[in-house]
Structure 1
Amino acid sequence: MAMRASDSFNSGDVKMPSLIDHFKSIAMGAVSTSAFEAYDHHYLLPERDFVCMNRMRNISMAKEKALSLKTGYIPPSSRQDIEVLRKSWTINIILCN
């Protein structure tokens, strides 16, 4: 979640609301009741994950996706561009909750 929150930061934006939005669902123990709600909670990414609404094709589509991921798999490289907020932001998060 920290990496996804860091990816959503834009230069010049206030970062605290975005950080709170990303971690609120974890802090509150929220679970998604649908795949589309999982997108809202930032559990699924629109550019990476997909939703299959056809019950008859769920297994075959999952198998196709797994096999396509297997071919040419390269582990992600370690990232150095993840922005971490200072202790003052951590104190604000604790005080807000």
Structure 2
Amino acid sequence: MSKFGDLISANVPVLFNFFTEWNEESVSMHPVLRDVAAAVGDNARIIKINVDKNPELSEALRIKGLPTLIIYKQGEMKWRQSGVQDGDSLINLLNKYTS
């Protein structure tokens, strides 16, 4: 989990996508997040975390619904939402935290 601490401390917003491969809604977010990553470029980071491979982190963050999306910047959680999100909303959120 120390690597997670390094990731959330970034000066740019970091969008974490907690997912599983067996959850349809989780899988449907992959192309959306690819588009978001392309749109925000170096102004933000997008990181996918498979809850099946990271049970301790998922439990520590109380991940219940999938997908769960969380934005951190400089160690502080800025936004959290479970369920499918649209790309434009995510881009707008990330841009809000880039300044």
| Shared fold (TM-score, shorter chain, > 0.5) | no
Query: Rg: which structure is higher?
Result: 1
TM-score, normalised relative to structure 1: 0.25
TM-score, normalised relative to structure 2: 0.25
The structure where strand makes up a greater share of residues is 2
